[in-house]
């Protein structure tokens, strides 16, 4: 394989996948001591997600939530495909606008904004912005010339993995007062937004929130507002490795939209997906840099004690919770690795834990799992690592963030270019299938209390 570098990504040669790039990088660095952690990001996976989105939610324009992963390559790919963007800050607006995205494709979706950043949005033509309080209305009236305001309402996100309505969103009973205040200030309220919480586990939350949004539209109409925008936020899964699949959620959303916001209502519907677009595109590969063997009698030993299973292996790898695995702390993620080295079928499994490289005891990636006996220098592979990982990673203790190698196949790239120039045509099954897919890999790492098994 000889990937051709163009811009900041490489083309995959025909017949090669992102998985082959991982193998190549591992082979290259395995002959040296320089076995740094790295990512491979398959931009073609983002294209597939976009096709999946347009197929399942044909009425909804995605405004990608930049906070989830602000990599320039990701944002460029999405901008080429014509998505909009949910920006939460001046810096995110700058990033998106630096790629030539028109301000009409940006929603400043942070209900609590710094005055200087409201002024920045105003000066740079960003009009759509959310609010959920009277104070925010006062700031916008004073510091923005021509805002198109979107009232964010609270949802019952008690079943979501990451709750947001504890911080943002007006209660339904407060909405009339807020709309009256906006009218008194001469502000233009164009619609309603909500977020069901990131990692939604109950699709009914969407239908309830859509029905609540309808009530707010009706109040708005009574008060003389011409509302024409519904923003259903994020909350969609980033991989199929979850109980509630994307299409199960969309099969609840679509009828709710048809009931409360039928096509002839002429309401434009947008969403703010983050995790959905990027999680599965990124694979993180880490190296075991140290190992400690704890014998059952509590004697720690650095030596191998072949043949006994009465021990726990502690592995230390070169990325941790202060880096990519901050998602364990901030995003409530549960990360389990795949083994790079294929073990023999009769190889014994040992209880083990996996730790990051810093000096903090909090820096633990996996508390308990079972794996074959691994050595310093072996590699572990973590899939679905694109959402809320690199975006919040620090360099605490001097540990650098992993390099990221962006790849895309020629057919995928041609497809992105076609969408860029011609717009999207209703994708069909065969169109999705002709794009290269991630290969499966043996999963031999088990969570506690489950019998060891291999899933191919
Ligand atoms: C306002 C807003 N929109 C969209 C998102 C993206 O959510 P998700 O990654 O669940 O799609 C978030 C995440 O925190 C958010 O706060």
State residue 308's pLDDT score. Answer: 53
250 lines ligand 1 (CB under 6 A): no
**Range of weakest confidence among 196-205, 314-323, 358-367:** 196-205
Is residue 6's pLDDT more than 50? Answer: no
d(CA 97, CA 104): 11
Q: Give catalytic status of residue 68 as yes or no.
A: no
Closest approach atom of ligand 1 to CA 235: 10
Which range, 26-40, 220-234, 336-350, has the best average confidence (pLDDT)?
220-234
Residue 105: its H or E element:
none
d(CA 452, CA 217): 53
Average pLDDT over residues 324-346: 94
d(CA 391, CA 34): 24
- CB-CB contact of 148 with 129 (8 Å): yes
Q: Whose CA is nearest to atom 14 of ligand 1?
A: 198
Average pLDDT over residues 101-123: 98
Dist. CA 166 → ligand 1 center (Å): 14
Pocket probe for ligand 1: among 60, 68, 389, the residue whose CB has the most ligand atoms within 8 Å is 68
Is 97 or 454 the better-scoring residue by pLDDT? 97
**CA proximity to 252, closest of 215, 202, 213:** 202
Residue 5: its H or E element:
strand 4-6
Chain centre to alpha carbon of residue 440: 21
92 lines ligand 1 (CB under 6 A): no
DSSP 303-315: S--TT--SEEEEE
Is 197 or 298 the better-scoring residue by pLDDT? 197
129 lines ligand 1 (CB under 6 A): no
Closest approach atom of ligand 1 to CA 387: 9
CB-neighbour burial class of residue 396 (10 A; exposed 0-12, middle 13-18, buried 19+): middle
**Range of weakest confidence among 263-267, 307-311, 364-368:** 307-311
Dist. CA 266 → ligand 1 center (Å): 25
152 lines ligand 1 (CB under 6 A): no
Q: How confident is the prediction for the chain on average, in pLDDT?
A: 90
Degrees to nearest 5, angle at CA 174 with 171 and 178 = 125
pTM of the model: 0.91
Residues in the chain: 456
107 lines ligand 1 (CB under 6 A): no
164 lines ligand 1 (CB under 6 A): yes
Chain centre to alpha carbon of residue 210: 23
What is the greatest pairwise CA distance in the chain? Answer: 78
Note the pLDDT tens digit of each residue in 360-375.
Answer: 999 999 999 999 999 9
Q: Could you give the percent of the chain with pLDDT greater than 90?
A: 84
According to DSSP H, which parts of 31-71 are helical? 43-56
Dist. CA 179 → ligand 1 center (Å): 24
Dist. CA 65 → ligand 1 center (Å): 6
Note the pLDDT tens digit of each residue in 66-88.
Answer: 999 999 999 999 999 999 999 99
**CA proximity to 233, closest of 280, 190, 199, 188:** 199
271 lines ligand 1 (CB under 6 A): no
Closest approach atom of ligand 1 to CA 110: 1
> Which of these is catalytic: 359, 369, 430, 439?
359
Instruction: Give the Cβ contact number of residue 264 at 10 Å.
Output: 6
Coil, strand or helix at 448: coil
Q: Which token pair is 260?
A: 């409360």
Dist. CA 281 → ligand 1 center (Å): 18
Q: Which token pair is 100?
A: 């030539």
Instruction: Give the Cβ contact number of residue 172 at 10 Å.
Output: 14
State residue 301's pLDDT score. Answer: 53
**CA proximity to 68, closest of 233, 229, 277, 211:** 277
- CB-CB contact of 282 with 386 (8 Å): yes
State residue 453's pLDDT score. Answer: 29
Closest approach atom of ligand 1 to CA 68: 9
Dist. CA 152 → ligand 1 center (Å): 13
Note the pLDDT tens digit of each residue in 27-44.
Answer: 998 888 889 999 999 999
Note the pLDDT tens digit of each residue in 393-429.
Answer: 999 999 999 999 999 999 999 999 999 999 876 444 4
Q: Which token pair is 413?
A: 């790239």
Note the pLDDT tens digit of each residue in 116-164.
Answer: 999 999 999 999 999 999 999 999 999 999 999 999 999 999 999 999 9
Is residue 454's pLDDT more than 90? Answer: no
Tokens 């394989």 locate to 1
Instruction: Give the phi and the psi of residue 256 in degrees, each rounded to 5.
Output: -65, -40
Closest approach atom of ligand 1 to CA 272: 4
Is 178 or 309 the better-scoring residue by pLDDT? 178
State residue 450's pLDDT score. Answer: 33
d(CA 286, CA 319): 7
Q: Which token pair is 451?
A: 């019998």
Dist. CA 64 → ligand 1 center (Å): 9
């Amino acid at each position: 394989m000889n990937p051709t570098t163009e811009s900041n990504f490489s083309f995959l040669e025909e017949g090669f996948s992102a998985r082959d790039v991982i193998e190549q990088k591992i082979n290259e660095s395995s002959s040296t001591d320089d076995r740094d952690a790295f990512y491979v990001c398959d931009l073609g996976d983002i294209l597939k997600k976009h096709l999946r989105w347009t197929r399942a939610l044909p009425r909804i324009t995605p405004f990608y939530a930049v906070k989830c992963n602000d990599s320039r390559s990701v944002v460029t790919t999405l901008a080429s495909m014509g998505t909009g963007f949910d920006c939460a800050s001046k810096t995110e607006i700058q990033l998106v606008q630096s790629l030539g995205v028109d301000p009409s494709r940006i929603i400043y979706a942070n209900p609590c904004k710094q005055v200087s950043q409201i002024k920045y949005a105003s000066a740079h033509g960003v009009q759509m912005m959310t609010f959920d309080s009277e104070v925010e209305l006062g700031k916008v009236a004073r510091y923005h010339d021509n805002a198109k305001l979107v009232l964010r309402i609270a949802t019952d996100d008690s079943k979501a993995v990451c709750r947001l309505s504890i911080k943002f969103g007006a209660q339904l009973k407060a909405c009339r007062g807020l709309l009256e205040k906006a009218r008194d200030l001469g502000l233009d309220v164009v619609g309603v937004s909500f977020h069901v919480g990131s990692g939604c586990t109950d699709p009914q939350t969407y239908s309830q929130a859509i029905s609540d949004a309808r009530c707010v539209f009706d109040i708005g109409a009574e008060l003389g507002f011409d509302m024409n925008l519904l923003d259903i936020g994020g909350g969609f899964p980033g991989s199929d490795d979850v109980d509630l699949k994307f299409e199960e959620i969309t099969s609840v959303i679509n009828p709710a939209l048809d009931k409360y916001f039928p096509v002839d209502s002429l309401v434009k519907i947008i969403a703010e997906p983050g995790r959905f677009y990027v999680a599965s595109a990124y694979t993180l590969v880490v190296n075991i840099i140290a190992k400690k063997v704890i014998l059952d009698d509590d004697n720690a030993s650095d030596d191998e004690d072949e043949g006994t299973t009465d021990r726990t292996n502690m592995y230390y790898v070169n990325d941790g919770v202060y880096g990519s695995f901050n998602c364990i702390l901030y995003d409530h993620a549960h990360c389990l690795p795949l083994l790079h080295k294929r073990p023999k079928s009769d190889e014994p499994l040992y209880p083990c834990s996996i730790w990051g490289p810093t000096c903090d005891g909090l820096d633990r990636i996996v508390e308990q799992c079972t794996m074959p006996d691994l050595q310093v220098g072996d590699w572990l592979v973590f899939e679905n690592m694109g959402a809320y990982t690199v975006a919040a990673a620090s360099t605490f203790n001097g540990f650098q963030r992993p390099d990221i190698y962006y790849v895309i196949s020629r057919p995928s790239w041609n497809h992105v270019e076609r969408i860029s120039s011609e717009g999207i045509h209703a994708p069909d099954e065969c169109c999705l299938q002709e794009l290269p897919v991630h290969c499966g890999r043996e999963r031999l790492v088990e969570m506690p209390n489950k019998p060891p098994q291999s899933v191919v």
